[in-house]
């Protein structure tokens, strides 16, 4: 975990705006941390944790110091909540000329209707919009209010979890079925727990695990999940550091992630599982990239998934290797190479936005 660069606002050519940053539990905050660690020294992170209307003037003053700078607003983050201040910053940058704005949208299609409208309106005042997948960009462009003129780019995400140095063969892995990710609603956790209970009834010796972290504000939900895991006999492991998570995933046979809206290329938990040799069993949807399908054990997110999971646990190492190798190919050919590559791609967008 790195510290943000320490340049003064007047020295920074690019300001990365975020509402979360480690140690906050937020995927976009973690992403921003790693991006800034690889970014040029002239870039600065502006971390704001109060996004109320009362705080808006001070946020704008801090962002608007100096001229002809670029502000990249990472959206959404845990810290923004329901605030419209991030959208307002895009408008103010355009109206005052104090900075040009690049919107980096990690989500669009899964946001509420109001959030999509607000972002669509803000897009008319942005110099550029970055998406994480082609499907997300297509969804935005099909939205009535989204700008048809703003230039856009797609920069794929990387997993925050490193590849373990000790990948075990499929048959030697000690965790049979696991879930990994933030422990919060709308992540498919209820479906995982229901199927986990079915697996336990089918085979009392099956080894189940849930690996993750409970974001702030979801403590009561996390307590509910803990109790259900205890009742099922599913080991719950929380708050591991990134390297320990990678080592744990390298010991998982099947990573069962029944997302309600299907898997997409922006699911960092899927990328973490694939890079550590776990067989990812998940549901597909409209945003699932075709190139990812050969690496997946496709499931429905229903109790009927018990049977294909049990069948997959009987696979030999060569059978599992077919999907494992497909997962490695997807990561190696379809995603940025590393965080330095991501920073280079962001830098190219900054240059393009500067000459428009």
Count the Cβ atoms, other than its own, within 10 Å of residue 345. 16
Using CA atoms, how far apart are residues 188 and 285, in angstroms rounded to an integer? 14
Using 50, 70 and 90 to split pLDDT, how confident is the model at 5? very low
Phi, then psi, of 149 in degrees rounded to 5: -105, -25
Using CA atoms, how far apart are residues 322 and 302, in angstroms rounded to an integer? 25
| 3-state SS, residue 27 | helix
For 267-317, the pLDDT digits (tens) are: 999 999 999 999 999 999 988 999 999 999 999 999 999 999 999 999 999
Residue 240 near residue 216 (C-beta atoms within 8 A): no
Res. 319: pLDDT tops 50: yes
Res. 3: pLDDT tops 80: no
Average pLDDT over residues 227-233: 97
Q: What percent of the chain has pLDDT over 90?
A: 84
The residue ranges of every structural domain in the chain are 14-158+337-354, 170-334
What would the CATH number be for the domain defined by 170-334? Answer: 3.40.50.2000
Using CA atoms, how far apart are residues 263 and 288, in angstroms rounded to an integer? 5
- What is the model's pTM? 0.85
Long-range contacts of 181-184 (CB under 8 A, 24+ apart): 181/212, 181/257, 181/269, 182/25, 182/27, 182/212, 182/213, 182/214, 182/215, 183/210, 183/212, 183/213, 183/214, 183/215, 183/218, 183/221, 183/222, 183/225, 183/238, 184/214, 184/215, 184/218, 184/221, 184/222
Q: 177: burial class by Cβ within 10 Å (0-12, 13-18, 19+)?
A: buried
| Sign (positive or negative) of CA dihedral 221, 26, 2, 257 | positive
Q: What is the model's pLDDT at position 9?
A: 46
Res. 143: pLDDT tops 90: yes
Q: What is the model's pLDDT at position 7?
A: 46
- What DSSP character marks residue 263? B
For 150-208, the pLDDT digits (tens) are: 999 999 998 889 999 989 999 999 999 999 999 999 999 999 999 999 999 999 999 99
Count the Cβ atoms, other than its own, within 10 Å of residue 204. 8
Q: What percent of the chain has pLDDT over 70?
A: 96
Q: What is the model's pLDDT at position 216?
A: 85
Alpha carbon dihedral 283, 295, 310, 193, in 10-degree steps, equals -40
**Tokens coding 157:** 């995400």
Using 50, 70 and 90 to split pLDDT, how confident is the model at 68? low
Using CA atoms, how far apart are residues 104 and 147, in angstroms rounded to an integer? 15
Task: Please identify which residue in the block is written with the tokens 């048959």.
Answer: 171
Q: What is the model's pLDDT at position 99?
A: 94
Res. 94: pLDDT tops 50: yes
The lowest-confidence range among 51-55, 64-68, 96-100 is 64-68
CATH 3.40.50.2000 is held by the domain 14-158+337-354: yes
Using 50, 70 and 90 to split pLDDT, how confident is the model at 4? low
Whether the ω angle into residue 345 lies within 30 degrees of 0, i.e. cis, is no
Q: What is the model's pLDDT at position 173?
A: 98
Q: What is the model's pLDDT at position 10?
A: 47
Q: Do domains 14-158+337-354 and 170-334 have the same CATH topology?
A: yes
Using CA atoms, how far apart are residues 278 and 264, in angstroms rounded to an integer? 17
Query: How many Cα atoms within 13 Å fall on the side-chain side of residue 62?
Result: 14
Spell 16-31 as b/e; 16+ CB within 10 A means b. Answer: bbbbbbbebbbbbbbb
Q: Give the per-residue SS3 of 273-313.
A: HHHCCCEEEECECCCCCHHHHHHEEECCCCHHHHHHHHHHC
Q: What is the model's pLDDT at position 206?
A: 97
Residues listed for the chain: 356
Average pLDDT over residues 338-344: 96
Q: What is the model's pLDDT at position 12?
A: 60
CA angle 125, 126, 131 (to 5 degrees): 140
């Amino acid at each position: 975990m790195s510290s943000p660069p320490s340049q003064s606002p007047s020295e920074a050519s690019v300001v990365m705006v975020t509402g979360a940053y480690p140690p906050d539990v937020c995927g976009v905050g973690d992403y921003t941390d790693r991006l800034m660690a690889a970014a040029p020294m002239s870039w600065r992170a502006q971390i704001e944790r109060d996004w109320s209307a009362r705080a808006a003037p001070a946020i704008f003053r801090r962002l608007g110091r100096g001229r002809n700078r670029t502000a990249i607003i990472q959206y959404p983050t845990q810290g923004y909540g329901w605030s419209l201040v991030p959208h307002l910053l895009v408008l103010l940058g355009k109206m005052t000329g104090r900075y040009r704005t690049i919107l980096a949208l990690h989500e669009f299609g899964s946001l509420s209707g109001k959030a999509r409208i607000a972002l669509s309106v803000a897009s008319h005042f942005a110099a550029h919009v970055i998406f994480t997948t082609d499907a997300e960009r297509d969804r935005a462009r099909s939205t009535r209010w989204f700008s048809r003129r703003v230039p856009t780019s797609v920069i794929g995400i990387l997993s925050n979890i490193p590849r373990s140095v000790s990948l075990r063969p499929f048959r030697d892995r000690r965790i049979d079925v696991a879930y990994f990710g933030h422990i919060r609603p709308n992540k498919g956790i209820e479906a995982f727990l229901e199927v986990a209970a079915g697996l336990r009834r089918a085979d009392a010796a099956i080894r189940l695990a849930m690996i993750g972290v409970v974001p702030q504000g979801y403590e009561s939900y996390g307590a509910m999940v803990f109790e259900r895991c205890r009742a099922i006999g599913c080991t719950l492991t929380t708050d591991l550091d990134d390297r320990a998570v990678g080592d744990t995933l390298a010991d998982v046979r099947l990573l069962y992630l029944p997302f309600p809206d299907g898997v997409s290329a922006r699911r960092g938990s899927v990328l973490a599982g694939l890079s550590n040799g776990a067989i990812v069993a998940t549901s597909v949807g409209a945003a699932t990239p075709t190139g990812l399908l050969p690496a997946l054990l496709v499931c429905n997110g229903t109790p009927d998934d018990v049977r294909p999971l049990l069948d997959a646990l009987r696979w030999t190492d060569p059978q599992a290797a077919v999907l494992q190798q497909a997962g490695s190919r997807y990561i190696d050919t379809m995603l940025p190479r590393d965080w330095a590559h991501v920073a280079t791609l962001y830098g190219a967008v900054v240059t393009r936005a500067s000459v428009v």
